[in-house]
Structure 1
Amino acid sequence: MSKEIEKTASGHQSPFERIKRINDAGMEYWSSRDFAEVLGYDNYRNFDGVIEKAKLSCFNSGNRIENHFVDVDEMVIIGSGAERPIKTTLMSRYACYLAIQNADPKKEIVAHGQTYFAIQTRRQELTDGRIEEERRLLLREEMRQHNVQLMSAAKLAGVIEPKDYAIFQNHGYMGLYGGLKRDDIHQRKGLKKSQKILDHMGSTELAANLFRATQAEEKLRRDDVKGRDAANLTHHQVGAKVRKTIQELGGTMPEDLPTVESIKKIETKKRKQIGTNSIPEKVEAKK
């Protein structure tokens, strides 16, 4: 096994990269059987304890175990040529990182694996972070536009005064957030009075609210809803429908999703990047 480590150090592919698998959706994963073999566990039962500790670490870190560890039965060929099922756990890159942290530290390959998965997991986190930022920017802008359209539809229904529109908005929030009004959500998320709820939502929560806003607007117009009470009821019903869909899909309720940094910071960072990237073009133009 030390030879494999030497090869990796000299630029060859890591043994952990060689056992990586890709599913039909293009997602990477590792088999616990392959993983145990690379780590030098001759008896797979000894590696079962490592997997269980890794699952506990996953849970304690606030992540869903089923998102990173999937227990399956794999068919293998035995000496007679027949097949029999064996217990296997399919693991994400993060799951591998947790497993390697709980493996036998006396094994030389474990130290190599800890370094490999720490680096790769951090790279993935950075990539995922950039994708999440782009999603938030897109969805937040969509929310701005559709809130204007929702306000227009509500106005046609008879929601005219600003205080009435605030009540109308609260009905949508109450439907989606299980009875919580805007101020309740604000308090639950730990936000200051000057901070806007939508600016501190992750992409999942923004998407749920965007669906609420677009569907409420369409229903108000399609059903030609008239009257403030009818508009409020419509908005509440739409929000409740979106909430029920999230429940049926096994998703996290919006009020339980984490509060994230203000999107204003991401917008500022984006503007700076655009400004930095445009400098060479201005210099070139002067030439």
Structure 2
Amino acid sequence: MTTLELHTTDSPRRPRAWSPRLSGATASRVLSQLRHDHRTVAMLLVLPSALLGLLYLIWSEVPTAPGQPSTFDRVGLVMLGVLPFVVMFLVTSIAMLRERTSGTLERLLTTPLSRPDLLLGYGAAFGLAATGQALVTATVAVTVYDLDVAGPLGLVVLIAVVDAVLGVALGLLASAFARTEFQAVQLMPVVVLPQFFLCGLLAPRGQLPGWLQTAGDLLPLTHAVEALAEVGSSTAATGRMWADVGIVAGTAMLSLGLAAATLRRRTS
């Protein structure tokens, strides 16, 4: 056995450290791909506003009690957080799965690019896309659909962006458990619907059985909805709102860490 062979056999490969430069290059590559994918861009920027418009047509004429917010003001505000979460989860999980099935991911991981570089680059790219999505949707909601919000619109956009980044992180994590794009789509109801049912949108959380309230407390979408409700009822940011935003952001970072730990180069 030669000296080179001894060195190759006995020296384990050290984990590569995170590189901001490589994460930035990954984000640039993903954004370039998004820019040329017109259908995905339309899904990111147009679909949430269109769905919100459908809700406006359904609820704009529903009568409400004096002094109470209209049904659209209450539900539409919450959907500004729910819709970005759902759309970004779907887009990100399928995008990462395509990287694996096409062999792109395997080729990238043979370069100096590490798993954290890859996932943080993806998170940054889709986070920028989520910011554009939130700005467009919130602006359309306030100007076209006349959504009434007590608090600053900037806080609504911030919560929508954080919620969309959560969708990105959970989408990256879910992609590790799917082998095909169809399986990635199948995972969406498993991840999204329980959170949607228990977040307080369909029924006040105080009316749910105790164990369901506890389950809802553990789900990040519940805290996103509560943060938006705080903005809808208060003219300034509250401590509870910031606590809820912190929980959503922390869950997103945890999900990114788990995604890096479970990332596979290819589907088996």
Which structure features the higher share of helix residues? 2
TM-score by length of 2: 0.24
Structure exhibiting the larger radius of gyration computed from Cα positions: 1
Greater RCO, CA 8 A, separation 6+: 2
Which structure features the higher share of strand residues? 1
